[in-house]
Amino acid sequence: MSHDQAPAQPAVRAVEAAWRIEWPQLVAGLTRLVGDIDTAEDLAQDAHLAALQQWPRDGVPPNPGAWLMLTARHRAIDRIRRDALLAGKLRLLEHELLTEPRSVPPIPGESLDNGISDDLLRMMFTTCHPILSQLAQVTLTLRMVGGLTTEEIARAHVVPKSTVAQRIVRAKRTIKDNHVPYEVPDNSELAMRLDAVLEVIYLIFNEGYAATSGQDWMRAELCDDALRLARILTGLLPSEPEVHGLTALLELQASRVHARSDTARRLILLPDQDRSRWDQLFIRRGYTALGRAHALARQRCAPSGRYALQAAIAAVHTMAATPEETDWRRITGLYALLADRFPSPIVELNRAVALTMVLGPAAGLELVDAVAASGVLDSYHLLHAVRADLLVRLGRRTEAHTEFVRAAELTANAAEQSLLHARATDSPR
């Protein structure tokens, strides 16, 4: 690398960091202006390329998100000027550009009472339109609102990347061909889209809580985004039990964020966390939301939903001052209920961990092996990590070594890889 090239590198890294963080809000805001997702993506990409050219030369701007949005809006005006049919839209965009403050929308987590005018929430309900299958809704929204890559979405759904890419292309084409409006629907249509919206928020949080790839174990900005959207949704649909159930789950999980890694960004597992670092405000908010979810479900004479059950499990953990005080029997019972009402191999994997704490590693391994036998989670690194841990507990260290190595191969997250390789070293062949 030459002397002239070296100074550019920090600026390039700043561009990529800003692009990763700001992309969902940028595309959502541009979609509101131009009314088309594909065009908004193109404009955002133009701004990205402009940043790569200008920031290394001129320096990183004080507010990178504002710079990207302003540049993209200028690109929008330039594009519309080339199309005489959209002259009316040009005047609207020029007016917005001249009259709106030159700043990005609020930083995730800073403003939690934006109401239904929030661009990301509007985008979410657009991409969760019932004209799409629920799987397509969730996939497209994870990409457009969560800013997740196809690889990250593929991991969340345990499917190949090519499958995810095809779903996104087809879903965007369907929205465009059917002229789906970019808006929050009225109350009569909200419930039809709710399941997909809740799943999207849940999966965005999960990607932030345990990142698919990169150097960091977590992506806090995604956790902030998901929690903000969940809180907005409770205001939009205050009588929906599962909205409160999801909010409770995210509040309780978010309470542990600062305890999940050390100053060297190394991963700290739940039993080893300093529980004094768990955020009590988030925990109290979680308890309140969970109580509301249960109360609303009782009013409807309905059973607890999947998110309320998971929140109840998270609540049991927060009630234990030490790992030894954890009520694992209660957690095992809740997982059994969750598995009965909402069966999935990942729920079974989590149930196996809880069962281990009550009946021992042999019982846990039996359930894990049953999940493994289905083949559905062959490429899911946590299946192999859990199985390896149980094999260690049973003294089968050679087999455990193989499983830890396999788990490390299947994750692209550096913090997880480091932990899994260390565990493999501790379990020699």
List the chain domain ranges: 8-99, 119-209, 353-429
Q: For the domain bounded by 353-429, which CATH number is listed? A: 1.25.40
- The whole-number pLDDT of residue 146 equals 77
> Which of the two residues, 153 and 408, has the higher pLDDT score?
408
Pairwise CA distance, residues 235 & 380, whole Å = 36
On the question of pLDDT at 282 being above 70, the answer is: yes
> Which of the two residues, 140 and 24, has the higher pLDDT score?
140
- The whole-number pLDDT of residue 97 equals 55
Pairwise CA distance, residues 413 & 267, whole Å = 11
Kindly write down the DSSP assignment for every residue of 44-67, as one continuous string: HHHHHHHHHHHHHHH---SSHHHH
Q: How confident is the model at residue 214 (pLDDT cuts 50, 70, 90)?
A: confident
- The whole-number pLDDT of residue 145 equals 79
pLDDT tens string 47-104: 999 999 999 888 889 888 889 988 988 888 777 666 655 555 555 655 555 555 444 3
- The whole-number pLDDT of residue 65 equals 85
214 phi and psi, to 5 degrees? 100, 180
**Region 184-208: what's the mean pLDDT?**
82
- The whole-number pLDDT of residue 195 equals 86
pLDDT tens string 123-182: 888 888 889 987 898 889 888 877 888 888 887 777 889 999 999 999 999 998 998 888
Percentage above 70 pLDDT, the chain: 88
- The whole-number pLDDT of residue 115 equals 38
413 phi and psi, to 5 degrees? -90, 125
> Which of the two residues, 373 and 32, has the higher pLDDT score?
373
Percentage above 90 pLDDT, the chain: 46
- The whole-number pLDDT of residue 144 equals 87
- The whole-number pLDDT of residue 96 equals 57
On the question of pLDDT at 428 being above 90, the answer is: no
- The whole-number pLDDT of residue 204 equals 86
**Region 230-237: what's the mean pLDDT?**
84
Chain-wide mean pLDDT for the chain?
A: 85
pLDDT tens string 364-405: 999 999 999 999 999 999 999 999 999 999 999 999 999 999
Q: How confident is the model at residue 262 (pLDDT cuts 50, 70, 90)?
A: confident
What are the tokens at 70? Answer: 């302003």
User: Which neighbouring-strand residues pair with 412?
Assistant: 213
In angstroms, how far is CA 275 from the centroid of its own chain?
24
* CA distance readout (Å), 351 to 11, 288, 338: 46, 26, 9
Given a contact cutoff of 8 angstroms between Cβ atoms, the answer to whether 199 and 138 are in contact is yes
Q: How confident is the model at residue 327 (pLDDT cuts 50, 70, 90)?
A: very high
Q: Is 264 exposed, middle or buried (0-12, 13-18, 19+ CB in 10 A)?
A: exposed
**Region 273-296: what's the mean pLDDT?**
96
pTM reported for the whole predicted model: 0.74
Q: How confident is the model at residue 245 (pLDDT cuts 50, 70, 90)?
A: very high
On the question of pLDDT at 412 being above 80, the answer is: yes
The sign of the torsion formed by the CA atoms of 403, 406, 410, 416 equals positive
